[in-house]
């Protein structure tokens, strides 16, 4: 079954492929936007390792929030718009002597939530972290990170 682009957008509200449904643009090229939460988080890690701040920021919703959770359960929330994420991550990368990298270790998802365990290598050495993400419509809307 083929849907025209305006009809597909009207029906789904976004660029989403449904099984058995092919969406085409007016010039007949396929439009692909994978909104599966696990795939969005994988793309964020790929952008991080490429040091592509713009691509990483583009995965965050305009009203996204990053919450830093400390050991005593204190939570500090910060706005995480695409532009602010790109600027903040760019500052972090330029502050490092060697390019930081993330290595995916384990990932679990349930609906829009993704728990991601990873290894971060930067000037401080190797650290391990478990972050939680909420992904809606192919964009990160909330991220929780442990904070010492």
pLDDT at 6: 40
| pTM (2 d.p.) | 0.76
Q: How far apart are CA 57 and CA 113, in angstroms?
A: 19
**Does the structural domain 37-147 have CATH classification 3.40.50.300?**
no
pLDDT at 13: 43
Residues of the chain with CATH 3.10.450.50: 37-147
DSSP letters, 113-143, are EEEEEEEEEETTEEEEEEEEEEEETTEEEEE
Placement of tokens 């204190």 in the chain: 74
DSSP state of 36: -
> Mean pLDDT per 10-residue run, the chain (148 residues)?
39 40 47 81 96 96 96 92 95 94 95 96 95 96 91
Q: Name residues whose C-beta falls within 8 Å of residue 57's C-beta, 6 or more positions apart in sequence.
A: 81, 82, 83, 84, 85, 86, 89
pLDDT at 112: 96
Using only the alpha carbons of the chain, give its radius of gyration.
17
Q: 67-73 long-range contacts, Cβ below 8 Å, gap at least 24?
A: 67/142, 67/143, 67/144, 67/145, 68/145, 68/146, 68/147, 69/144, 69/145, 69/146, 69/147, 70/146, 70/147, 70/148, 71/146, 71/148
pLDDT at 147: 85
Cross-strand pairs, 118: 104, 129
Among residues 131, 145, 140, the alpha carbon closest in space to that of 64 is found at: 140
């Amino acid at each position: 079954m083929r849907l025209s682009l305006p009809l597909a957008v009207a029906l789904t509200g976004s660029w989403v492929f449904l099984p058995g449904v092919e969406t085409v643009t007016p010039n007949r090229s396929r439009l692909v936007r994978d909104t599966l939460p696990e795939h969005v988080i994988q793309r964020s890690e790929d952008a991080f390792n490429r040091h592509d701040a713009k691509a990483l920021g583009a995965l965050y919703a305009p009203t996204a929030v990053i919450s830093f959770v400390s050991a005593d359960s204190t939570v500090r929330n910060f706005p995480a718009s695409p532009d602010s994420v790109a600027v903040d991550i760019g500052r972090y990368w330029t502050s490092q002597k060697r390019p930081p990298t993330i290595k995916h270790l384990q990932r679990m998802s349930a609906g829009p939530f993704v728990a991601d365990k990873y290894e971060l290598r930067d000037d401080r050495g190797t650290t391990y972290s478990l972050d939680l993400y909420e992904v809606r419509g192919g964009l990160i809307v909330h991220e929780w990170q442990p904070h010492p």
